Amino acid sequence: MKLISQATLQIQKPVEEVFEGIVTPTKMTQYFISESSGRLESGKEVIWKFPEFADRFPITNIKVESNRSVSFVWDPETIVTITLESLPDKSTLVKVTETGKDFNEQNLKWLIENTGGWANFLACMKAYLEYGIQLRKGAFDFMRKN
């Protein structure tokens, strides 16, 4: 049995704006990552850096369907898929699913942490895209290794 981490949130912006908020590095650095080597595009590989970690993370197997979905691998065992659904009120339903890890005690910890992490990703994206607020700034400084 494979574990599935999921989070869903509605953002009061059109699907085109939400999509660009996910694939465009200058937007993602306002609510999720601190650096990116490029735009998320099918077939490309980019490197992400997070403000609270020294490590850089390769983002591979990128698949993009404009205004509909983005998927990638950042953990060799899992695939992240972000789907977008345009709603009648011109808002966007965003669903994040990360799957691939086997069911065991260690991976249950991963499931809990990543489900919370993706919920945080969505809340930070919503705050930034709707109001220009950077919720992530300073939120995880306590995790930095000195």
Q: What is the pLDDT of residue 142?
A: 64
- pLDDT tens-digit map of 80-139: 999 999 999 999 999 999 999 999 999 999 999 999 999 999 999 999 999 999 987 766
Q: What is the pLDDT of residue 145?
A: 65
pLDDT of residue 140 exceeding 80, the answer is no
pTM: 0.93
Q: Which two tokens stand for residue 7?
A: 């989070």
Share of the chain above pLDDT 90, in %: 88
- For the chain, give every domain's residue range: 2-143
Q: Superfamily for 2-143?
A: START domain (3.30.530.20)
